[in-house]
Amino acid sequence: MPTRLHVDVPHAHARGYDVIIGSGTLEDVPARVAAAAPAAVYALITPDDVVEPWGRRLAAAMLASGLPTELITTQPGEAHKTRDEWARLTDRMLELGCGRDCCVIAVGGGVTGDLAGFVAATYMRGVSFVQVPTSLLAMVDACVGGKTGVDTAYGKNLIGAFHTPRLVVIDPHVLSTLPLRELRAGLAEAVKHGAILDEAYFDWIEAHADAILALDDAALEQLIARSVELKAGIVMDDVFEHGRRAILNFGHTVGHALELRAAYALPHGFAVAEGMIAEAALGERAGVTEAGTQARMARVLAALGLPASASADITGLLESMRLDKKSRAGRPRVVLLERVGSVARDADGAWTHELNAEAAQHAIDGA
Ligand SMILES: NC(=O)c1ccc[n+]([C@@H]2O[C@H](COP(=O)([O-])OP(=O)(O)OC[C@H]3O[C@@H](n4cnc5c(N)ncnc54)[C@H](O)[C@@H]3O)[C@@H](O)[C@H]2O)c1
Ligand SMILES: [Zn+2]
C-alpha cells in the first residue's frame, strides 16, 4: 500500500492536497488525477531527458484512460527555468486551445515543477496543477509547499507565485533513470530536514546511506515520506514564509551564493551541502551551534558522496549574498543550528541570524 500524506493549506483561496508515495504508483496516476483534478484537457509538461523513460509513457496511459492529454516537452536544466521558457510553454498551450478548465501536470525534477507550476499559476489567471516529481530533490523538497517560479539574471526564483497542487504522486521507481549525481543532490535536502527538525531521522539517513544509494525501495519510501512530512509540517505552519518557514533555508544562504557564482553549473544539492557545512562552522564559531555539529554533518554528507567541506573563498560570495531575497535591508541573514535536530533563534527571537562577514570568513577558513 502506498503512503498517503495530506497537506493542509490554511488559506481561503487554496485547498489541501494528498501526496501519494509508493513504488509502482505511476500506474495509478490517471485514476488519481481524474479524481483529484478533473479537467477538459491535461497539459503534461516534461523535459527532454524525462520524456522517453517516463513522460511519454504516462501521457499514453492518460489517453488510454480516456483523459485528453497533450504532451509538451521542455529543454532540461536550470538554464531553462526562465521567462522565455514560460512564454514558449504558455504560447504552446494557447495554440493547442487549452482553456481555463485545463490542468497542468509536471513530470520531471524541481526545475520542471517550478516552471510548469508557474505556468499553471498564471495561465488564464491560474489552472489546476498536479506534480509527478521524478528527481529525488523534487520528491523530498520541491513538490511540497506551493512555491513556483523562474530564475532571472539577478538571482534564482525571483519571479514566481504560490500555487498549490491538487495532487502529488511520487513513485521512487522512476529514480532508476536519474543520474547518481542528481540522486546525491536530492539527499542534501533530506539531510537538511534532519538537521533542522529531527535528529533521529538525521541518524537514520547516515545508517541507511548505502541502501538509499542502492535505490532500495523500502529505504527510499521511508526517506521520501519522512522528508515530505517534515517539510509539509513547516509549510502548513507558515504558508507564506513570514517566519518559521525560513528554517528550510539552512545551508541555503551560502548555498545560493555558491550557485550564483557557478552560474548555476553546480547542482543545487551540492551547493546546499557545502552551505550546510559552512553554516554549521559559522554557528559553532559564533558559539550558537553545539560543538561537533559540523563534524557530524560532514560524516553523513561524506557517506552520501556529497561535499563534506566548505570552499575557502567565501569573501566574494558575501557580496552576492546581498542580492539574496532572504536578506533584510541588504544584510545577509543565515539559519544557525542549535544542534542537530533543532534551529537556534537569535536574541530577538528571529529564526535567522545576521551574518557577520568577518566571522564567516574565519569560520570557513577553519572548516
Ligand atoms: N519549489 C520549491 O519549493 C523548491 C524547493 C527546492 C528546490 N526547488 C528548485 O528545484 C530545482 C532543482 O531541482 P532538481 O534538482 O530536480 O533539478 P532538475 O529538475 O534540473 O533535474 C536534474 C536533471 O535530471 C533530469 N531528471 C529528472 N528526473 C529524472 C529521471 N527520473 N530520470 C532521468 N533524468 C531525470 C532533469 O530533467 C534534469 O535534467 C531548482 O530550480 C530549485 O530552485 C524548488
Ligand atoms: Zn534547496
Among 128-132, 154-158, 326-330, 351-355, name the one with the lowest average pLDDT. 326-330
Q: What is the pLDDT of residue 362?
A: 63
Residue 136 beta carbon below 6 angstroms from any ligand 1 atom: no
Catalytic residue flag (residue 147): yes
Residue type, 322: R
Catalytic residue flag (residue 80): no
Element counts in the chain: helices (H) and strands (E): 15, 13
Residue 134 beta carbon below 6 angstroms from any ligand 1 atom: yes
Q: What is the pLDDT of residue 367?
A: 56
Q: What is the pLDDT of residue 212?
A: 98
> How buried is 330 (Cβ within 10 angstroms: 0-12 exposed, 13-18 middle, 19+ buried)?
exposed
The confidence band for 242, taking pLDDT boundaries of 50, 70 and 90, is low
In the reported structure, the alpha carbon of residue 269 is separated from the centroid of ligand 1 by a whole-number distance in angstroms of 10
Catalytic residue flag (residue 85): no
Q: What is the pLDDT of residue 313?
A: 61
The confidence band for 199, taking pLDDT boundaries of 50, 70 and 90, is very high
Q: Render 52-71 in DSSP notation, one character per residue.
A: IIIIHHHHHHHHHTT--EEE
Among 67-71, 172-176, 331-335, 340-344, name the one with the lowest average pLDDT. 331-335
Q: In angstroms, rounded to a whole number, what is the distance separating the alpha carbons of residues 192 and 350? A: 19
Q: Which residue has the cell 497539459?
A: 43
Q: In angstroms, rounded to a whole number, what is the distance separating the alpha carbons of residues 115 and 208? A: 32
Q: What is the pLDDT of residue 284?
A: 92
Residue 21, CB-side half-sphere exposure with 13 Å CA sphere: 25
Q: What is the pLDDT of residue 98?
A: 98
In the reported structure, the alpha carbon of residue 118 is separated from the centroid of ligand 2 by a whole-number distance in angstroms of 18
Q: In angstroms, rounded to a whole number, what is the distance separating the alpha carbons of residues 1 and 184? A: 27
**DSSP H stretches of helix in 133-216:** 136-137, 180-197, 199-207, 209-213
Residue 232 beta carbon below 6 angstroms from any ligand 1 atom: no
82 has pLDDT over 60: yes
The confidence band for 361, taking pLDDT boundaries of 50, 70 and 90, is low
94 has pLDDT over 90: yes
The confidence band for 357, taking pLDDT boundaries of 50, 70 and 90, is low
336 has pLDDT over 80: yes
Mean of the per-residue pLDDT values for the chain?
Answer: 91
Eight-class DSSP state of 233: H
In the reported structure, the alpha carbon of residue 290 is separated from the centroid of ligand 1 by a whole-number distance in angstroms of 33
Grid cell digits, residue 71: 504532451
319 has pLDDT over 90: no
Residue 341 beta carbon below 6 angstroms from any ligand 1 atom: no
Eight-class DSSP state of 276: H
User: ∠ at Cα 142 (2, 92), nearest 5°?
Assistant: 100
Torsion of CA 161, 167, 173, 178, to 10 degrees: -10
Catalytic residue flag (residue 181): no
329 has pLDDT over 60: no
Q: What is the pLDDT of residue 348?
A: 86
Q: Which position has the higher pLDDT, 305 or 310?
A: 305
Among 102-111, 152-161, 204-213, name the one with the lowest average pLDDT. 152-161
CB 148 within 8 A of CB 121: yes
Q: What is the pLDDT of residue 9?
A: 83
Q: What is the pLDDT of residue 267?
A: 87
The confidence band for 49, taking pLDDT boundaries of 50, 70 and 90, is very high
In the reported structure, the alpha carbon of residue 188 is separated from the centroid of ligand 2 by a whole-number distance in angstroms of 8
The confidence band for 138, taking pLDDT boundaries of 50, 70 and 90, is very high
Catalytic residue flag (residue 192): no
Residue 22 beta carbon below 6 angstroms from any ligand 1 atom: no
Q: Which residue has the cell 554528507?
A: 301
Q: In angstroms, rounded to a whole number, what is the distance separating the alpha carbons of residues 357 and 122? A: 39
The confidence band for 349, taking pLDDT boundaries of 50, 70 and 90, is confident
3-state secondary structure of 351: coil
- Averaged pLDDT for residues 174-197: 98
